C-alpha cells in the first residue's frame, strides 16, 4: 500500500478498530430487538457500525419505519450492553504494537469516536492505552456524528494538522465515509464486514490487521 503523502498524524476510531467491542454491541442489539418484539438480524446491526445516538436513531427509522419503537429499543439495548461492557472488552490484536511503534516515532495520535468522550476515556483507560493519545474527540463534542466528517475534522484541528495530512484508521463503512468526507488518507481495517467496491474506492488502502498497518505507517516515515 502506497500512501499519497507522508502522514503527519494518525487518527484512530475506537470501537472495532482499537477495542473489540463490535461483537458485544451486535449481541446486545440483536437481543434488544427480540426484547421489544421487532427482531433485527446480526448482519443488519453490523451494517450500523460507527453509528450511535441521533445518527443511529435516524438510520433505524429510515430502514425500519416510524413504527419501530426506538426509545424502548435504545433503553433495552443499553440495559443489555452495560453488563457486557462492564465485564471488560479486550484490545484488538496488534493495537499495542501499533501504538508503541507510532509513539516511538513521535507521531501525534488522536481518537475520533462515536461514543461520548467520557465513555471513550473509560474504555481507553481500562485498557491502559489512554496515554498514547494527545486528544480524544467524542460524539458529544461535535454537531454531527459519523458518517459526517465532524469528528475527524475536530480531531485534526486539536492536533493542529490539516486533515489531508492525517491518516485515519477505521473499521466500519460509516467511519470510512466520514474520514473520506474529511479529506483524510483513510485506511480501513475491516472488523465484521468486508469492504464493498464503493467503500474501497474511498480508501487509500485496506489492511488485514493492525500489524500490517504498523508496517505500512512505519515504512512511510
pLDDT digit string (tens) for 191-207? 888 999 999 999 999 99
What are the b/e assignments for 20-32, b being 16+ CB within 10 Å? bbbebbbebbbbb
Domain assignment of residue 3, yes or no:
no
Q: Report whether pLDDT(221) > 80.
A: no
Q: Does 81 share its domain with 40?
A: yes
Q: Does 154 share its domain with 109?
A: yes
What does the pLDDT average to over 55-63?
95
pTM (2 d.p.): 0.89
Q: Which domain does 38 fall in, by range?
A: 22-86
Q: 157, 147, 160, 133: which is closest to 186 by C-alpha?
A: 147
For 135-172, how does the pLDDT look when each residue is reduced to its tens digit (9 = 90+)?
999 999 999 999 999 999 999 999 999 999 999 999 99
The total number of structural domains that make up the chain: 2
Amino acid at each position: 500500500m502506497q500512501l499519497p503523502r507522508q502522514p503527519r498524524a494518525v487518527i484512530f476510531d475506537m470501537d472495532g478498530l482499537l477495542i473489540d467491542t463490535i461483537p458485544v454491541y451486535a449481541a446486545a442489539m440483536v437481543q434488544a430487538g427480540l426484547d421489544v418484539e421487532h427482531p433485527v438480524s446480526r448482519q443488519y446491526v453490523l451494517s450500523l457500525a460507527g453509528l450511535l445516538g441521533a445518527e443511529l436513531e435516524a438510520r433505524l427509522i429510515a430502514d425500519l419505519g416510524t413504527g419501530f419503537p426506538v426509545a424502548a429499543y435504545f433503553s433495552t439495548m443499553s440495559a443489555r450492553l452495560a453488563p457486557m461492557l462492564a465485564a471488560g472488552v479486550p484490545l484488538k490484536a496488534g493495537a499495542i504494537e501499533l501504538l508503541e511503534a507510532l509513539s516511538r516515532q513521535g507521531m501525534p495520535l488522536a481518537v475520533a469516536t462515536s461514543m461520548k468522550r467520557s465513555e471513550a476515556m473509560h474504555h481507553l483507560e481500562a485498557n491502559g492505552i489512554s496515554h498514547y493519545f494527545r486528544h480524544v474527540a467524542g460524539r458529544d463534542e461535535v454537531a454531527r456524528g459519523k458518517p459526517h466528517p465532524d469528528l475527524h475534522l475536530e480531531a485534526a484541528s486539536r492536533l493542529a494538522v490539516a486533515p489531508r495530512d492525517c491518516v485515519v484508521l477505521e473499521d466500519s463503512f460509516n467511519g470510512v465515509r466520514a474520514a473520506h468526507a474529511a479529506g483524510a488518507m483513510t485506511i480501513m481495517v475491516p472488523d465484521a464486514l468486508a469492504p464493498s467496491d464503493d467503500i474501497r474506492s474511498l480508501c487509500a488502502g485496506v489492511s488485514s490487521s493492525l500489524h500490517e498497518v504498523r508496517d505500512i505507517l512505519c515504512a512511510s516515515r
